[in-house]
Amino acid sequence: MRHDAQAVLATAQHLEGLLTVALGLAEGGRRIDLSGLDREIAALCLAALGLRGAERRQCRLPLLSLQRRVEVLQALAPQDAARRKRGG
């Protein structure tokens, strides 16, 4: 991944799309498989750490938005596990 703001923003936008779909499925009671997501987010974080000054500031809000979506999805994960235990 190139370490410039455009690459970071493009990756963040791609992940936002994936998380939007995953959230919709999870909220609808569907089981979701997020394997591989951690690698993509780790690569995004590494690229973001390589940014400086204005580029870093440009990416701040989209990355915070992505973080919030991940946190919401993580909050739904225990509910998903509980449903599976109940057989639902």
User: Which range of residues forms the domain containing residue 27?
Assistant: 5-86
CB 12, CB 59: distance < 8 Å:
yes
Give, for all 88 residues of the chain, the pLDDT tens digit: 456 999 999 999 999 999 999 999 988 888 888 778 889 999 999 999 999 999 999 999 999 999 999 999 888 876 555 555 555 5
Number of domains comprising the chain: 1
pLDDT score, position 1? 44
Instruction: Show Cβ contacts of residue 31 under 8 Å, excluding neighbours closer than 6 positions.
Output: 80, 84
Is pTM beyond 0.85? Reply is no
pLDDT score, position 76? 84
